[in-house]
Amino acid sequence: MMMWERIKKSKQGLGLILFILIVMMLGIFAPIFTPNDPYKTNLVMKFQAFSMEYPLGTDHLGRCILSRLIYGIRPTLFLAIVTMVGTILIGSLMGILSGYFKGWIDELIMRIVDVMLSFPSQIMIFAVIALLGVNVINVILANIFIKWAWYARMIRTKVLQYREKDYILYSRCIGSSGWYILIKHLIPNISSDLVVLATLDIGWALINISTLSFLGLGVQAPTPEWGAMLSEAKNFMTTNPVQMFAPGVAILLTVSAFNLLGDVMRDILDPKEVIK
Amino acid sequence: MIVYIIKRILVSILLIFAVTFICFVFINMIPSDPAEVVLRVRQTPIITEEAIKEVTQALGLDDPYFIRYLKWLRNCLRLDFGVSYINPSRTVWGEFTRTLPDTILLALSSLIIVIIVSIPTGFFCAIFKDSLFDRVVRILVFATTSMPAYVVGLLLMWLISYRLKLLPTSGSGGFRHIIMPSITIAMTYISTYIRLIRNNMLENMKEDYVVYAKVRGLNPWRISIFHILKNSLQSCMVAIGMSIPQLISGTMVVENVFAWPGLGKLCIASIFNRDYPIIQLYILFVGILFVLFNLIFDILQHLADPRIRSLS
C-alpha cells in the first residue's frame, strides 16, 4: 500500500513504530519477560531497593514493580486499542451511512452527532459510568460513546467529498453495487485519514482509561494497570518514590510515542483537513 | 442583529430544556428500582414490599412519566433537588452550594494562570518565529499534551511538597494550598492557548493592515502589540471564555489528586456511593453552564466583530 511505502521512508516513524511494537510484544509475552509473579505479595520484602531479583524494587505489598509494570501494558494499552477499534467501527458505520445514503438518515445521524459534540466529553464519561456502574467494560463503552461522533462527522465529510468523483460515478454507471463501491473505492480513500486520527486518539484513550483507573472508576486494584498502580503508589510517595515514577514515566513515554507517531504520519500522509 | 440574538436565545432555551430532560431520563435509567436503592443506601435492615411501597409513594415514583418530569422541573426551579441518598439529612442543593465555591475558586485561579502565561508566551513565539525560544516552547507544548493531569499533579506534589517542602501536599486552606492544583489544571490549557495565539498572530501578520502600518513607519513593537496582538486577542478571548465551563468540569481529576474539597470530589464520591441525585445535579449544572457560556460569548463575538455580523 502507498501509505506503508511512505512511512517506511521516515526514520522517525519507523523508530516510533518499533518502540510501540516492542511495548506491545512485552505486554503479549509478559510471562516470559517478567522476573516475578506480579500478584505475589511478600510483606517481608516490601519497599526493597533495586536488586537482581527485583530490578525496580518492590511496592508496599512486596510485589515486584517491574513485573507489575510489564503486566500493566496489557490492560492499559489493549483497552485503549479496543476503545479505538470500537470507536472507528461505529463512527465509520454511522459516517458512511450518513454520507452515502443522505436524506433523513443523514439528518438524524448528524443531529445526534451535533448533540454529542456540544457536550463536555469528560462529564459524559462520568455520567455513563455513574449510570452503568464501575466496570472495565463500561469504561470502554463510555469512551466509545463520547468519541464516535468525531469520527462519524469526519468520515461523512470524506464520503461526501468522494462520492461525486468521476471514477465512482463511472463505477455506478457500469452497475457496481453500493457495497462494492463502498469497499473498493470509498474505504481505501478514507483509510489514511483514519489511521492518522486513530493513532493520535490512542494516546487520548490511554490517558482517559488510566485516569479513570487512577480515580478508581476503571481497572480495579489488584490488577496491575498503570493508572491504578499510581493511585496505590500515591500513598507511599515519601517512602518509595520509585513505585510512583515507574508507571508515571511508562504512561508519559507510551502516550508521547503515539502522539509523535500520529504527528509524523500526518506530515507524511498529509490529509488535507484534520478535525480537532 | 437583534433577530440573531433573539434566535440564539430561543435555541438556548430549547437546549436547556433538552439538558433537563436528559438529566431526568438519566436518573430514571438506573438499572435498579430507585425506591430500593434509597432503602439499601440508608441501610434499612430488611427491605420489605411495604417499605418499598412507602418510599415509592414518598418520592412520588408511581406517577406517570411526564407528570413526574413536570414535577421534577418545578422542584428544580425552586432549587429543590431532593435529599442525598446516602445522608438523608443533607439536601442535594446544600451539598452543591457547599462545594461549589471551592471549585470556582480553583477554576478561576487556573484561568488567571492560563491567561498570564499563554498570552505573553504565544506573543513572543509569534514575534520570534522559529527562534530557539519558539522551538523550545513548541517542544514543551507538545510534551504537555502527552501528560495526563494526574501524573503531572503527582510529580509536582512529590517535587514541591516532599523534596523541596515548599507547599502543603493537599487539602484546602489558604493561598498556599491552591497553587499546585491550579498550576496542574492550567498546564493542560496553556499549551492549547499558546498555540492558538501564536497561529492567530502569524495569520494576522500577513494581513494588509500590517503592511500599511509598516509603510507608515510605525515602530515594529507598536505594530505587534497594538495592531496584531489586539486583533488576535479578540478571537482568543472568545475561545477562552467558551472553555470556562470546561475548566470548571475539568477540575474533577485534579481535585481528587490534591484532595481539594470541591464539586468534582463530591461527584466522584457520589459515583462510588451511587448517590444519583448529586450526580444528576452536577450534570445539569455543567450542561446549563455550557449552553449559557456558549450563548454569551457567541453574542459577544457578534457584537465585537462586524465581519461575522454581516454573515448572519
Chain A residues with CB under 8 Å of B283 CB are 123, 127
Instruction: Give the model's confidence band at B308: pLDDT under 50 very low, under 70 low, under 90 confident, else very high.
Output: low
Residue A259 lies in a domain: yes
**Cβ contact, residue pair B146, A259, below 8 Å:** yes
pLDDT at A275 over 60: no
Determine the Cα–Cα distance for residues B285 and B96; give it in Å rounded to an integer.
10
What distance in Å separates the CA atoms of residue A135 and residue B31, rounded to the nearest whole number?
14
φ, ψ of residue B91 in degrees (nearest 5): -85, 155
What residues of A are in contact with residue B26 (Cβ under 8 Å)?
A: 127, 131
Q: How far apart are CA A254 and CA A20, in angstroms?
A: 7
State residue A257 phi and psi, 5-degree precision: -60, -45
More confident residue, A57 or A166: A166
The answer to whether the beta carbons of residues B300 and B241 sit under 8 Å apart is yes
* DSSP-derived secondary structure for B156-212: HIIIIIIIS--S--SS--SHHHHHHHHHHHHHHHHHHHHHHHHHHHHHHHTSHHHHH
Write the CA distances from B222 to A5, A171, B213, B229, integer angstroms.
Answer: 49, 60, 10, 10
Residue A217 lies in a domain: yes
Per-residue pLDDT of B237-288, as tens digits, reads 888 888 888 888 888 888 888 888 888 888 888 888 878 888 888 888 888 8
DSSP bridge partners of B83: B91
ipTM strictly over 0.85?
no
- How far is A24 from A80, CA to CA, in rounded Å? 12
Q: Find the mean pLDDT for residues A10-34.
A: 85
Say yes or no for a CB contact (<8 Å) between A123 and B283: yes
DSSP B55: H
Percentage above 70 pLDDT, chain A: 92
The verdict on a CB contact (< 8 Å) between B276 and A130 is yes
Closest residue of B to A124, CA-based? B283
Question: How far B14 CA lies from chain A's nearest CA (Å)?
Answer: 12
A215 chain-B contacts, CB cut-off 8 A: 253, 256, 268
Q: Does B290 sit within 8 Å of A211, measured CB to CB?
A: no
The Cα angle at residue B216 between residues B207 and B200, in degrees rounded to 5? 25
Structural domain boundaries, residue A271: 80-275
- With respect to residue A130, please indicate whether it lies within any of the assigned structural domains: yes
Q: Read off the DSSP letter of residue B246.
A: H
| Beta-carbon contacts of residue B131 (< 8 Å; ≥ 6 apart) | none
The answer to whether position A100 is within a domain reads: yes
What pLDDT was estimated at residue B178?
Answer: 84
Question: For position A273, what pLDDT does the model report?
Answer: 43
Which residues does A contribute to its contact with B (CB < 8 Å)?
Answer: 115, 118-120, 122-123, 126-127, 129-134, 203, 207, 210-211, 214-217, 227, 230, 234, 237-238, 241, 244, 248, 251-252, 255-256, 259-260, 263
Phi, psi values for residue B83, rounded to 5°: -110, 160
Strand partners, A64: A58
The distance from CA B25 to its chain's CA centroid, rounded to whole angstroms, is 23
* Max CA pair span of chain A: 77
Burial bucket for residue B260 (CB in 10 Å: 0-12, 13-18, 19+): buried
Taking contacts as CB-CB distances below 8 angstroms, the residues of chain A near B154 are 230, 234, 237, 244, 248
The model's pLDDT over A64-82, given as tens digits with 9 standing for 90+, comes to 778 888 888 888 888 888 9
Contacts of A141 in chain B (CB under 8 A): none
On the question of pLDDT at A276 being above 60, the answer is: no
Mutation test of the interface with chain B: which of A214, A235, A249, A253, choosing the one with the most B Cβ atoms within 10 A?
Answer: A214
Determine, for residues A131 and B270 on separate chains, whether the beta-carbon distance falls below 8 Å.
no
Q: Do A120 and B246 touch (CB under 8 A)?
A: yes
CB pairs under 8 A between A and B: 88
The predicted-structure confidence for A187-200, as pLDDT tens digits, reads as follows: 777 777 788 888 88
Q: Do A237 and B162 touch (CB under 8 A)?
A: yes
Three-state DSSP at B83 gives strand
Mutation to test the A interface, candidates B12, B154, B159, B184, most A Cβ within 10 Å? B154
Domain total in chain A: 1
Cell numbers that stand for A197 in this block: 486520527
Percent of chain B with pLDDT over 70: 93
Write out pLDDT tens, residues B60-99.
777 777 888 888 888 888 887 777 777 777 888 888 888 8
The percentage of chain B sitting over the pLDDT mark of 90, rounded to a whole number, equals 3
- Confidence band (pLDDT; 50, 70, 90) for B111? very high
Dihedral angle, C-alpha B114, B118, B120, B126, nearest 10 °: -170
Report the distance separating Cα B110 and Cα B183, nearest Å: 6
Residue A35 lies in a domain: no
| Residue B306 CA: distances (Å) to CA of A96, A154, B206, B234, B262 | 38, 30, 20, 12, 40
In a 3-state reduction of DSSP, which class is residue A58?
strand
Task: Identify the residue whose cell numbers are 498503570.
Answer: A226
- 3-state SS, B216-244, equals CCCCHHHHHHHHHHHHHHHHHHHHHHHCH
Q: Which residues of A touch B170 (CB under 8 A)?
A: none
CA-nearest residue to B158 within chain A is: A237
A257: CATH = 1.10.3720.10
Tens digit of each residue's pLDDT (9 = 90 or more) over B2-38: 888 888 888 888 888 888 888 888 777 766 666 777 7
CA distance A29 to chain B (A): 26
Q: Rounded to 10 degrees, what is the CA torsion of B254, B255, B256, B258?
A: 80
| Residue with cell string 507511599 | A236
Which residue among A123, A131, A214 sits closest to B249, beta carbon to beta carbon? Answer: A123
Domains of chain B, by residue range, sit at: 15-77, 98-311
The chain B residue lying nearest A218, using CA atoms, is: B272
B97 or A43: which leads in pLDDT: B97
Using an 8 Å CB-CB cutoff, list chain B residues near A230.
150-151, 154
Q: Which of A122, A227, A241 is nearest residue B252 as measured by Cβ atoms?
A: A122
Candidate from A127, A207, A234 with C-beta closest to B26: A127
**8 Å CB contact between B109 and B178:** yes
> What is the pTM (predicted TM-score) of this model?
0.82
Give the position of cell 505573553: B120
Residues of B with CB under 8 A from a CB of A: 15, 18, 26, 29-31, 142-143, 145-151, 154-155, 157-158, 162, 245-246, 249-250, 252-253, 256-257, 267-268, 270-272, 276, 279, 282-283, 286-287, 290, 294
| A131 contact residues in B (CB cutoff 8 A) | 26, 29-30
Cell representation of residue A201: 486518539
Q: Which of B151, B160, B243 to mutate to test the interface with A (most CBs of A within 10 A)?
A: B151
Per-residue confidence (pLDDT) for residue B311, from 0 to 100: 58
Q: Mark yes or no for CB contact A256/B246 under 8 Å.
A: no
- Nearest residue on chain A to B288, alpha-carbon basis: A119
Residues of chain A with Cβ-Cβ distance to B162 below 8 Å are 237-238, 241
* Lowest-confidence pick of A172-181, B115-124, B150-159: A172-181
Domain boundaries B98-311, corresponding CATH code: 1.10.3720.10
